[in-house]
Structure 1
Amino acid sequence: MNNTYLTTDALAERIHYDPRTIRDCLIDSVLIEGIHYFRPFGGRKILYIWENIERDMIASCASTFSIPMADGGVCHG
């Protein structure tokens, strides 16, 4: 199994989010332990599994259909 493991800072850089947003908002709501991240050796450090995160980000985009409107709004289909 070839996975790319990222720290919070490396993930933040890759997805253009603030590390604090990842820790405070995405952990355990969007990023699920055992799927998107794990704690090696039962410690406090978190490593993120890039391939799983990328897969689910793309899947969530594909399932959301929206049409940009001329006035700047969005119509969700």
Structure 2
Amino acid sequence: MSQEYLTTEELAQRIKYDARTIRERLKDSVLLEGVHYIRPFGGRKILYIWEKVEQDMFDHATNVAFAVPMARGGVCRG
């Protein structure tokens, strides 16, 4: 199993988001435990699985073309 694990700060640098935004807005709503990140050895430290994050970003980016933008920044997909 060769996956690349990133800290919150390393992920923030890669996806050009603030680390605080990742912790407060994306974690547990967009980035899910067991899918996008793990807590090794049952500890408090969070490691993000880069391949899963990257794949989801790509999947969502390709679906945006079929979305209708809404007034408050959301989108309607259907």
With normalisation by structure 1, the TM-score equals 0.84
Runs (4+) of structure 1 moved beyond 2 Å? Answer: none
Q: How many residues of Structure 1 are paired with residues of Structure 2 in the alignment?
A: 68
Q: Does 1:33 align with 2:37?
A: no
Q: Which has the larger radius of gyration?
A: 1
Task: Identify unmatched segments of 5+ residues in structure 2.
Answer: 67-75
Identity of aligned residues (%): 59
Q: Greater helix percent: which structure?
A: 2
The two structures, once aligned, show a CA RMSD in angstroms of 1.5
With normalisation by structure 2, the TM-score equals 0.83
Amino acid at match of 1:46: I
